[in-house]
């Protein structure tokens, strides 16, 4: 039942997303419509990168495809149904079936940018990058403003996948000018780091924080780089900035302890770990759950209290046996 509900939610999301995409290709204002479109856009991009494999693991998607197939018997030229089934086939990693549907939809409505975009996504999945790139470029032709967002980011990912990092960085940068998001800052920054452009990457992450001051992942990324460069004082400043505003501070106290250890300030590091335990206990007391208990186990580990850590991790595995991080940490501690 749960898997079936999940499949229905996927189908509903694709339908809503397709409507938003159609809207997005035709608007430049007002801002709230642009925002709505971009939310859809990034959701679909994330799906294309990481969600396909998750959906493929659940055969519950197949009944949803079967429903659409039954409707297509009576309406074989229904472009919307072909588009929807093509998307679901791709999410289920049936890429050839997906392309067949999207090719048929394209023949019926060759000027439909939604179809061109989804067809190009499937071509990427099939490894036919050159054809996909042509499709993304067709989606960009004549488009201005926010309507460029989805094909621009898709093309950037394609450039990155095919080793054309400079072109990908340029597309990500243009997309960020249209609408700044954490995902785009991270995608561009990763490429810049891979190219050894650390100064540019750091500048980009800092720009991201100025635009999105609550984006903790950007701050964590900057801390990682500062630590790798030995710029511990700068890393400490970033951590303290987060501690000043974070509602859950456990992880940040542990990060602070790590930096202080690197600076040779042992007593201050021990104090930070003690604060981390107090914070973990406070949060766990409010509403216990597996993730909060896992966080406390990490604090116990940092404090050298391994038996307490293992006890918490065993409780986590009882309530959340599929929590891989807890299982891995427990096995590590038990092997010591």
The pLDDT of residue 59 is 58
Mean pLDDT of the chain: 86
List CB contacts of 299: < 8 A, sequence separation 6 or more: 250, 254, 273, 276, 277, 280
Encode pLDDT of 37-60 as tens digits: 444 444 444 444 443 344 444 456
Is 206's pLDDT higher than 80? yes
Average pLDDT over residues 180-193: 97
Q: What's the average model confidence in pLDDT over 144-172?
A: 96
Q: Does residue 148 contact residue 166 with C-beta atoms inside 8 Å? A: no
User: Lowest-confidence range among 43-57, 284-298, 320-334?
Assistant: 43-57
For the segment 133-155, the average pLDDT, to the nearest whole number, is: 94
CA terminus-to-terminus distance, the chain: 42
φ, ψ of residue 127 in degrees (nearest 5) = 80, 15
Phi, psi (rounded to 5 degrees) for 143: -95, 145
Average pLDDT over residues 266-286: 97
What pTM, to 2 d.p., does this model score? Answer: 0.78
- State residue 20's pLDDT score: 43
Q: What is the pLDDT of residue 2?
A: 43
Backbone angles phi, psi at 131, to 5 degrees: -65, -40
Q: Residue 302: pLDDT above 60?
A: yes
Alpha-carbon distance 117 to 151, whole Å? 7
Residue bearing the bigger pLDDT, 313 or 5: 313
**Contact at 8 Å (CB) between 49 and 186?**
no
* pLDDT (mean) for 234-253: 95
Asked if pLDDT for residue 29 goes beyond 90, the answer is: no
The reported pLDDT for the residue numbered 60 is 60
Contacts of 149 (CB under 8 A, 6+ apart): 24, 37, 38, 41, 175, 178, 179
The pLDDT > 70 percentage for the chain reads: 82
SS3 (DSSP) at 248:
coil
Confidence of residue 62 (pLDDT cuts 50, 70, 90): confident
Give the rounded percent of residues in the chain with a pLDDT score beyond 90.
Answer: 78
pLDDT value at residue 36: 43
pLDDT value of position 63: 87
Count other C-beta atoms under 10 Å from residue 289's C-beta. 13
What gap in Å lies between CA 16 and CA 20, rounded to an integer?
Answer: 6
Q: Does the pLDDT of residue 287 top 80, yes or no?
A: yes
Q: What confidence tens digit (pLDDT) does each residue in 88-136 have? A: 999 999 999 999 999 999 999 999 999 999 999 999 999 999 999 999 9
Q: What confidence tier does 266 reach under pLDDT thresholds 50, 70, 90?
A: very high
Domains and CATH numbers, the chain: 1-170 (1.25.40.10), 180-246 (1.25.40.10), 249-336 (1.25.40.10)
Statement: residue 78 has pLDDT above 50: yes
């Amino acid at each position: 039942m749960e898997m079936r509900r999940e499949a229905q939610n996927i189908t509903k999301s694709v339908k809503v997303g397709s409507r938003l995409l159609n809207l997005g290709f035709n608007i430049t204002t007002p801002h709230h419509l642009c925002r709505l479109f971009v939310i859809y856009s990034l959701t679909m991009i994330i799906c294309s990168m990481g969600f396909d494999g998750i959906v493929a693991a659940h055969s519950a998607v197949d009944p949803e495809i079967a429903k659409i197939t039954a409707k297509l018997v009576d309406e074989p030229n229904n472009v919307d149904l072909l588009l929807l089934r093509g998307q679901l086939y791709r999410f289920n990693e049936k890429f050839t079936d997906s392309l067949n549907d999207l090719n048929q939809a394209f023949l019926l409505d060759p000027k439909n940018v939604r179809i061109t975009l989804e067809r190009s996504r499937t071509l990427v999945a099939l490894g036919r990058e050159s054809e996909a790139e042509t499709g993304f470029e067709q989606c960009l032709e004549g488009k201005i403003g926010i309507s460029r967002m989805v094909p621009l980011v898709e093309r950037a990912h394609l450039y990155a996948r095919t080793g054309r990092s400079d072109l990908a960085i340029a597309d990500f940068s243009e997309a960020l000018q249209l609408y700044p998001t954490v995902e785009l800052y991270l995608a561009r920054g990763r490429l810049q780091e891979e190219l050894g452009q650390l100064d540019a990457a750091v500048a980009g992450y800092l720009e991201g924080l100025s635009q999105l001051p609550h984006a903790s992942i950007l701050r964590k990324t900057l801390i990682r780089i500062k630590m790798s460069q030995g710029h511990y004082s700068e890393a400490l400043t970033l951590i303290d900035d987060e501690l000043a505003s974070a509602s859950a501070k456990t992880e940040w106290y542990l990060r602070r302890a790590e930096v202080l250890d690197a600076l040779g300030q042992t007593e201050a590091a021990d104090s930070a770990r003690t604060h981390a335990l107090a914070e973990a206990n406070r949060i766990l007391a409010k509403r216990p759950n597996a993730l909060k208990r896992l966080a406390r186990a990490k604090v116990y580990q940092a404090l050298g209290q391994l038996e307490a850590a293992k006890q918490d991790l065993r409780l986590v595995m009882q309530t959340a046996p599929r929590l891989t991080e807890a299982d891995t940490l427990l096995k590590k501690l038990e092997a010591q």
